[in-house]
């Protein structure tokens, strides 16, 4: 009986250790301001005004960034919690499809796929009811030609302006969204970066995110002998 109790205690002590090891299986690690991915091998320099959350290694969503200091639109001054916190999600997978047709497929209401369904769970801006395209431009990502697509989505909200919940107000505003995409020629690794924030601050935030995206370093490719 005594041996059974000792064995049970040892098992109880071992369980937290196993859970801790599972929790540590993250997608990558930070070295100062530089994130390095464990599975895909890329590096990215994170702007100092962004908080980093590293996702699980088994997920294709590798990194989530939220802005530390951000502005509050005038229409939310009485209820700041309604402000959309600027958020960036980085998605990486392998695919033979080029980035231009793939981004088009994400924007299309007709195109359906399991991969698109997975991506839209985190790419919140693309789930908005009315998205107004604001342009598409080429961008260099770690020496590779990529693209950045931008859009706007207007909203109407009923907000509570008092702690008692008695006072209310209807406000109007817009969200800004962007998708960065890049893929090295003749390789299958594809990188997607999604941004969403309040439209009023979209331009300067897009600039910060663009700086991070252009700091991207692809993994080294072994030369054939």
pLDDT in tens, 70-82: 999 999 998 999 9
The pLDDT value recorded for residue 186 is 82
Domain ranges in the chain are 26-214
Residue written as token pair 């990215």: 44
Cβ–Cβ under 8 Å, residues 160 and 79: yes
Q: Which of 10 and 108 is assigned the larger pLDDT?
A: 108
DSSP character at residue 135 = E
Q: pTM of the entire structure?
A: 0.86
86-95: per-residue pLDDT in tens? 999 999 999 9
32-42: per-residue pLDDT in tens? 999 999 999 99
Confidence label for 195 from pLDDT (cuts 50, 70 and 90): very high
Confidence label for 21 from pLDDT (cuts 50, 70 and 90): low
119-129: per-residue pLDDT in tens? 999 999 999 98
Domain over 26-214 is classified CATH 2.60.40.10: no
**Nearest alpha-carbon partner for 148 in 122, 123, 181:** 181
Cβ–Cβ under 8 Å, residues 164 and 79: no
130-156: per-residue pLDDT in tens? 999 999 999 999 999 999 999 999 999
The answer on pLDDT for 173 being more than 60 is: yes
């Amino acid at each position: 009986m005594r041996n059974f109790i000792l064995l049970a205690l040892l098992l109880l002590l071992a369980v937290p250790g196993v859970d801790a090891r599972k929790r540590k299986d993250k997608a990558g690690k930070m070295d100062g301001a530089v994130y390095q991915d464990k599975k895909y091998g890329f590096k990215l320099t994170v702007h100092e005004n962004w908080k980093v959350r590293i996702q699980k290694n088994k997920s294709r969503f590798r990194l989530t960034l939220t802005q530390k200091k951000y502005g509050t639109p005038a229409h939310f001054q009485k209820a700041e919690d309604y402000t959309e916190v600027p958020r960036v999600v980085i998605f990486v997978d392998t695919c033979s499809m080029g980035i231009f047709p793939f981004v088009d497929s994400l924007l299309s209401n007709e195109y359906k796929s399991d991969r698109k369904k997975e991506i839209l769970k985190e790419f919140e801006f693309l789930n908005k009811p009315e998205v107004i395209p604001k342009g598409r431009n080429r961008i260099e990502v770690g020496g590779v030609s990529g693209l950045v697509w931008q859009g706007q989505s207007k909203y109407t909200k009923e907000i509570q302006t008092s702690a008692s919940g008695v006072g209310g107000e209807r406000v109007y505003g817009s969200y800004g969204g962007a998708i960065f995409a890049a893929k090295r020629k003749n390789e299958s690794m594809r990188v997607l970066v999604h941004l969403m924030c309040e439209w009023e601050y979209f331009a300067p935030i897009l600039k910060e995110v663009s700086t991070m995206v252009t700091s991207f370093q692809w993994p080294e490719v072994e030369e054939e002998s």
